[in-house]
Amino acid sequence: MLGCYRILDLTDEKGFLCGRALSDFGAEVIKIEKPGGDRSRLKGPFFHDSGHPEQNLTWFAFNANKKGITLDIENAEGRELFKKLVKTADVVIESFPPGYLDKLNLGYHSLSEVKPGIILASISGFGQEGPYRDFKAPDIVARAMGGLVYTTGYEDRPPLTPGYEHTYSIAAMYAAVGIMIALSHRAQTGLGQHIDASVQQACVVIASAEIEGPYALFGRVLSRHGRARGSVTLKDGTIFYNPLLWECKDGDIAFNLLINPTSVKANLALMEGLKRDGIDIKFLNNWQWDKQGWKDMSLEQAKEVVNIIGQFFKKYTKAELLEMAIKNRFQLGPCNNAADVLSHPQLAERNFWKDIYYPELETSFKYPGWAVKMSEEDCGPRFRSPRVGEHNAEIYKELNLSDARMNELKSSGII
Amino acid sequence: MEKRPLEGVKVIQLCWAGVGVYTTNFLSHYGATTVRVETSTYPDPVRTFEPYAPTNQPGEPVGLERSVFYSITHTAPELGMVLNLKQPESMEVFKKLVLWADVVAEGFPAGVMDKIGLDYEGLKKIKPDIIMMRSCGYGHSGAMAAQPGFGSIITAVTMMDIFTGWPDRRPLAPTTYYTDQLVPMYAALSILVALDYKRRTGKGQYIDQSQMESGLNFVTPLILDYQANKRHPALKGNRSDFAAPHGIYPGKGEDRWVAISVTSQEEWVNFKKVLNNPSWTELPEFSTLEKRIKNSDSLDRYVAEWTAGLAPEQVMGILQGAGIGAGVVSTSRDLDSDLQLNYYNFYRQIDHPYMGKLRYYHPAALKLSRAETEVKGPVLLGEHTDYVCQNFLGMSKAEIEDLRSKGVFK
């Protein structure tokens, strides 16, 4: 559906997802990397842990659907070639340190002189302006300063950042939305613009309701509470941190334990299950589920409830608990890993997984088949990620470069 | 005056809770006209989420307008309309609204709209080129279609709860209703794509969002890693395979922390220099990045000894001054006074008729050079019912009053 748009993608792994998301809807995305291959190709994981830059799995994941060319934009001749490409494009995406493109005379104003109406999207840790714009912003730092680290972790240990670095991908998705807004603006006015997407701000939006709200209202600073999320007030006014994650037989599940009359049906069904399994539900035998809630419970009782229900979950696997959740409409979901989602019944029923073939590896990978389903056209991955300079011939031919000229540029390391 | 990016786009927001609202906010922030349709007979549960802004008078009922969750979710300009779809006459009003609209966004569990004939086929009969975006936990087909989706649960099923934690303890969830904030970008993108496509072809379409499916698009590398190497992500505290020191270190003060990441040899040299080359930095086990990663246990103890004597802001200043990634592990108090966020005017103070003045309303995490993000306080239940009926639907005052007496506008 976006086949009429050409996007030049200068990002590294921090911004890959932006172009990938737009390519899922049909946009032509050309990934531009340094001659010899992008440095981001060296940051694993790799196929069979090979360490080979053309077997990088993050590259495979987020550069599928893109064409790939090599070009050194730090070189004067390379810059001229880049400008010629910009003339054919609608959008440029980048994730360099702020100001880098300006220094090369390839900032927004230079690009819009080359191609009026061009849209430039910049993805960075803190934004293109302001006192922190030049701060180094690795994932852990941008996430911490966006408020998402302080509130994650166990009370007796330091706060935690996820081991799977993905925070930049959130800002990259903001940039993708910004690009579509700017394309709409261009259709209205004929004018392009510069989009500034900041990881810190993206995190603060995530933090807004739960973390920012209580502070703005009551000056209450939320901290971290292990596997619990959200608190309830008990009979004596104690705050109790109600567990979200529970251990089960083969891993963990998320379960919202809602002890209030609106959840009476699910809670009674759960108690029946416990009793069937011979678990002593103790004081809960006399609990009035249709009338009583957390506010009628003592701290001792609250701890007992967690203990009783915890015993039950430990007897079942994630798959068994999922089945139970569907049947009883429990607010419960397994903490899935890749094996779980690849065999997930609902995803199978919707035919979600899409095979993408890598001929040089003689291997197909199952990719998430789409992010949304649209009736006018299939969205999602269509073809595999590019090898280094795979589409040089195709794209540079368009610029009327002769074979001889291409060889020259190749031997001088420009493409 | 220059047109706004989405000026002229008309949206009906039939969304509860987070995802659908965050989705349409992108449109409303940038010039679309959005009518939020709800009913007091079956209120959006988010309107009843605690905490509430305190009431002005003791004993005054909290009502449906004081929830922090609701207010901070609705920061884009919207028009509020009440319509009790259980009343037969309401359907005629709603049909008029569909005729007015370009986009219908709905976020109920699958089946709710179908039951009242307002699935895509039903809407298309009213307006052939309508764009309908539906979002629910697991998608609108399949055995789990009607299963309710909650942010905390969808976060778990999309693999987001398996990669944060310590090697000796069970894994943790990232903070907040995480995927509720990640999947709206895909939903918004799809609506914007559909609008762009309609501008060129005249065609509307149907969009089915499964929040689980959208969420999995953020973790594709993990899914490929498992297929290629049969590997699941390891729990490794705050360690990285690509940087050392890399972690969250204690700072001076109660529960104060600083994030540090030294990613290259050049940064390590600078790191040593700003610490005045203490003797431990010269130990052979720290001489290369590979060795530093391998010997992170002892490296982290030395780094923590240094950071513990300084405020996190000082550590950040010293290291950033030397070109090294470091930042305060911000609490909500730190975020409120953050120089960078305030430079961007990220928090806007708005006076709310029931909640009073609050400084937390914010734009999208985007700055467009040609278009301001319009930020507004949350719309009240049915605040603009008459306005919408008169100005968009061409109804007379008498007609509105007649329907009101029949219980349509509740």
**Res B231: pLDDT:** 97
Q: Is the pTM of this model over 0.90?
A: yes
Query: For chain A, how far is it from start to end, CA to CA, in angstroms?
Result: 31
The pLDDT of B72-99, averaged and rounded, is: 95
Q: Determine which of A295, A354, A372 to mutate to test the interface with B (most B C-beta atoms within 10 Å).
A: A372
**Res A201: pLDDT:** 98
Q: Which chain A residue has its CA at the smallest distance from B192's CA?
A: A180
If DSSP states are collapsed to H, E and C, what string results for A200-258?
A: HHHHHHHHHHHHHHHHHHHCCCCCCCCCEEEEEECCCCCEEEEECEEEECCEEEEECCC
**Res B347: pLDDT:** 94
**Percentage of chain A modeled with pLDDT above 70:** 100
Give the closest residue to B375 by CA, choosing from B398, B403, B345. Answer: B345
**Res B62: pLDDT:** 84
Q: What is the average pLDDT score of chain A? A: 96
Q: Give the CA count within 13 Å in the CB-facing half-sphere of A307.
A: 11
Residue A210's pLDDT band (cuts 50, 70, 90): confident
**Res A213: pLDDT:** 87
CA A97 distance to own-chain centroid: 21
A306 versus A209: the higher-pLDDT residue is: A306
**Res B61: pLDDT:** 80
Instruction: Say whether B156 and A245 touch across the interface (CB within 8 A).
Output: yes
Instruction: Say whether B333 and A127 touch across the interface (CB within 8 A).
Output: no
Neighbouring C-beta atoms of residue B374, cutoff 10 Å: 14
Whole-angstrom distance, CA of residue B409 vs CA of residue B402 = 10
The pLDDT of A209-213, averaged and rounded, is: 85
- Write out pLDDT tens, residues B352-365: 999 999 999 999 99
**Res B127: pLDDT:** 98
The pLDDT of A296-325, averaged and rounded, is: 96
Residue A209's pLDDT band (cuts 50, 70, 90): confident
A33 lies within 8 A of chain B by CB: no
- Alpha-helical runs (H) found in B81-183: 88-100, 112-115, 120-126, 151-157, 178-182
Q: Which chain A residue has its CA at the smallest distance from B206's CA?
A: A375
- The pair of structure tokens assigned to B104 is 């219908």
The pLDDT of B370-387, averaged and rounded, is: 96
> Tokens 């936990």 label which residue?
B137
**Res A243: pLDDT:** 94
**Res B30: pLDDT:** 98
Query: Is pLDDT of B382 > 80?
Result: yes
**Res A306: pLDDT:** 96
- The pair of structure tokens assigned to B10 is 């008309």
Instruction: Say whether A374 and B336 touch across the interface (CB within 8 A).
Output: no
**Res A212: pLDDT:** 86
A404 lies within 8 A of chain B by CB: no
The pLDDT of B321-344, averaged and rounded, is: 97
Q: Give the CA count within 13 Å in the CB-facing half-sphere of B388.
A: 26
**Res B55: pLDDT:** 78
Least Cα separation, residue A287 to chain B (angstroms): 24
**What backbone torsions phi and psi does residue A179 show, to the nearest 5 degrees?**
-65, -45
Query: Is pLDDT of B113 > 90?
Result: no
CB B107 within 8 A of CB B16: yes
Query: Is pLDDT of B54 > 90?
Result: no
Give the closest residue to A78 by CA, choosing from A105, A102, A46. Answer: A105
Beta carbons within 8 Å of B266's beta carbon, 6+ residues apart: none
Q: Determine which of B42, B335, B336, B343 to mutate to test the interface with A (most A C-beta atoms within 10 Å).
A: B335
Query: Is pLDDT of B59 > 80?
Result: no
Most confident of the ranges A197-211, A262-276, B53-67, B306-320:
B306-320
Which residues in chain B have Cβ-Cβ distances shorter than 8 Å to A171? Answer: 365
Whole-angstrom distance, CA of residue B148 vs CA of residue B109 = 6
The pLDDT of A71-90, averaged and rounded, is: 97
Q: Which of A196, A333, A365 sits opposite B224 (nearest CB)?
A: A365
Whole-angstrom distance, CA of residue A19 vs CA of residue A23 = 6
Q: What is the average pLDDT score of chain B? A: 95
Query: Is pLDDT of B58 > 80?
Result: no
Which residues in chain B have Cβ-Cβ distances shorter than 8 Å to A350? Answer: 139, 141-142, 210, 213
- Write out pLDDT tens, residues A118-177: 999 999 999 999 999 999 999 999 999 999 999 999 999 999 999 999 999 999 999 999
Instruction: Say whether B368 and A164 touch across the interface (CB within 8 A).
Output: no
A292 lies within 8 A of chain B by CB: no
Query: Is pLDDT of A235 > 90?
Result: yes
**Res B112: pLDDT:** 84
Pick the range with the lowest mean pLDDT from A33-37, B15-19, B189-193, B378-382. B15-19
**Res B410: pLDDT:** 93
| Amino acid (1-letter code) at residue B214 | S
